[in-house]
Amino acid sequence: MSAKSTIGLVGLATMGANLARNIANKGFHISVFNRTTEKTEKFIQDFGKESKDKLHGSKTLKEFVASLETPRKIILLVKAGQPVDDMITELATLLDKNDIIIDCGNSHFKDTERRQNALASQGLNFIGCGISGGEEGALHGPSLMPGGSKAAWEKIRPIFEKVAAKDFAGKPCVIHIGDLGSGHFVKMVHNGIEYAIMQILAESYDILKTIGKFTNPELSKIFAGYNKNSNLKSFLIEITTKIFNKKEDGKFIIDYIKDAAGQKGTGKWTTEIAHDLGIYSPTINVAVDARIVSGDTSGRTMCQQFFTLKTSKTKLSPAAKKKLIKQVEDALELSTILCYEQGLGLIVKADREYKWNLNYAEIIRIWQGGCIIRSTYLKDLAIALGKDQKASGKIFTKIMKNLGGDKQKFWRKLMSLSLENGIPVPAFYATLNYYDSYAKARLPQNLIQAQRDFFGAHGYERTDKEGSFHTEW
Ligand code: 6PG
């Protein structure tokens, strides 16, 4: 290759390989590097032709860096944590002032800020960019959430805007989120919402299968029905309908998958930061816990000897089965809306705390395409958060009326039915508690204040007069 590449990418695991192909397919020359040279060679062999020779492999990091236009733009898609630091350290010795490293892994936003500060002292730019959409998204159009220097963003903008997915209006699902680690923060919250919605979908499945006795093909049809509801139509429900229908060797795969859910940490980080910032996000918290308990297979086996479920086995008539489908839909609809609300609450609080000056409507807009939590509801939510006051007021009222309406009655009924039948519904229940906690004018924490004052003289405030009080109990 004589001319230099517009951009480079390090790390050819699934996400890196697919993103590199996407960039090349959009017409940009891209150099790639992987620690194992054979992997790089095979990648070029397999996909070089696809983009008419826009992909260029390098054997060494030095050769890779030398193959790039300046200021160099280098995407990292290596395993989050120490491997990112190791690669940065190696690269930094080869780069020149103003070069840009873009970490597209699921890094913790505090690590991103530490790396930005360290590299800034060497005159290097570091962008922490959340990327969502899994391997398909990386290949055909992900949602991208870059944070860091605005000037550095402007340099990568033409490439990122071409590579990103499109929103409902055809605009690219990427914006400069804000300074510092804000891009990785927003991606982390995206994942927190992802955990929460996946858990309520799993609970819906449990209820429909256990109480409704629906078969896998029936479940697929039920979820396809939910996907016609404009507040529910989403990527996660769409893949759920496909999962229930998938067979291998004549067997439904879903019935043979072990029930221990994995997690790589972004959900847990979301709950940690929510607690640090004092934000109530119970659905995300219990979604993380639910994965933990699902993975505690030995603990569950041990407890099953002693914890006998003294529960009902509700038998439903065909009419009652129909009603159950509707109850789940209503609970799912309100819960999903409140999952987004919890995530958004966290973004708003962090924005105020860290003074990022984020554009909430735009963040919601770039989640409309490409990402795992994309949903048609985000069209309304983006308008509700937008600058057009008339349109925003109208949609906001519509959302709030829906939340305050009768659908909650079905949701409450569904909760008692689930508990009577011994079905754990932590996420549905936590979301209903979220709703009720914000709906009630007075919570019982006056008793906690009294107890704290009783044993620790912590003091309390009163409703009938100003000041701080202590009682000799
Ligand atoms: C995405 C996803 C992705 C995440 C996986 C697995 O937006 O494309 O959030 O980034 O890594 O969903 O996450 P867990 O292993 O923690 O479930």
Task: Outline which parts of the chain fall under CATH 3.40.50.720.
Answer: 7-180
Locate tokens 């609450």: which residue?
345
* Active-site residue flag, 194: yes
Q: Tell me which of 3.40.50.300, 3.30.300.30, 2.60.40.1180, 3.40.50.720 is the CATH number of domain 7-180.
A: 3.40.50.720
Query: In this structure, are residues 75 and 10 in contact, taking their beta carbons and an 8 Å threshold?
Result: yes
Buried b (16+ CB within 10 A) or exposed e, 306-318: eeeeeeeeeeeee
Predicted confidence pLDDT, tens digits, the chain (473 residues) = 558 999 999 999 999 999 999 999 999 999 999 999 999 999 999 999 999 889 999 999 999 999 999 999 999 999 999 999 999 999 999 999 999 999 999 999 999 999 999 999 999 999 999 999 999 999 999 999 999 999 999 999 999 999 999 999 999 999 999 999 999 999 999 999 999 999 999 999 999 999 999 999 999 999 999 999 999 999 999 999 999 999 999 999 999 999 999 999 999 999 999 999 999 999 999 999 999 999 999 999 999 999 998 888 888 999 999 999 999 999 999 999 999 999 999 999 999 999 999 999 999 999 999 999 999 999 999 999 999 999 999 999 999 999 999 999 999 999 999 999 999 999 999 999 999 999 999 999 999 999 999 999 999 999 999 999 999 99
Helices vs strands, H then E, count in the chain: 20, 9
* Widest Cα–Cα separation across the chain: 84
* Active-site residue flag, 90: no
pLDDT given at position 97: 97
- Supply 224's token pair: 């396809």
Ligand 1 atom 5: the closest Cα is on which residue? 134
Locate tokens 């006051």: which residue?
389
Q: How far is the CA of 236 from the centre of ligand 1 (A)?
A: 12
Catalytic residue, from 54, 73, 187, 379: name it: 187
> In terms of residues, how long is the chain?
473
For residues 280, 281, 287, 290, the Cα torsion angle rounded to the nearest 10 degrees is: 0
Task: Outline which parts of the chain fall under CATH 1.20.5.320.
Answer: 445-473
Residue 191 alpha carbon, nearest atom of ligand 1: 9
Task: Outline which parts of the chain fall under CATH 1.10.1040.10.
Answer: 187-439
- Supply 457's token pair: 């003289």
Q: How far is the CA of 392 from the centre of ligand 1 (A)?
A: 31
CA distances from 158 to 138, 162, 163 (A): 17, 6, 9
Mark residue 460 as left, alpha or beta (left: phi above 0; alpha: psi -120 to 50; beta: remaining): beta
pLDDT given at position 52: 86
CATH no. of 187-439 = 1.10.1040.10
Q: How far is the CA of 173 from the centre of ligand 1 (A)?
A: 18
pLDDT given at position 357: 96
Q: What is the 3-state secondary structure (H, E, C) of 424-467?
A: CCHHHHHHHHHHHHHHCCCCCHHHHHHHHHHHHCCCECCCCCCC
Buried b (16+ CB within 10 A) or exposed e, 287-303: bbbbbeebbeeeeeeee
pLDDT given at position 1: 52
Fold assignment, 445-473: 1.20.5
- In order, the DSSP letters of 389-406 are HHHHHHHHHHHHHHHHST
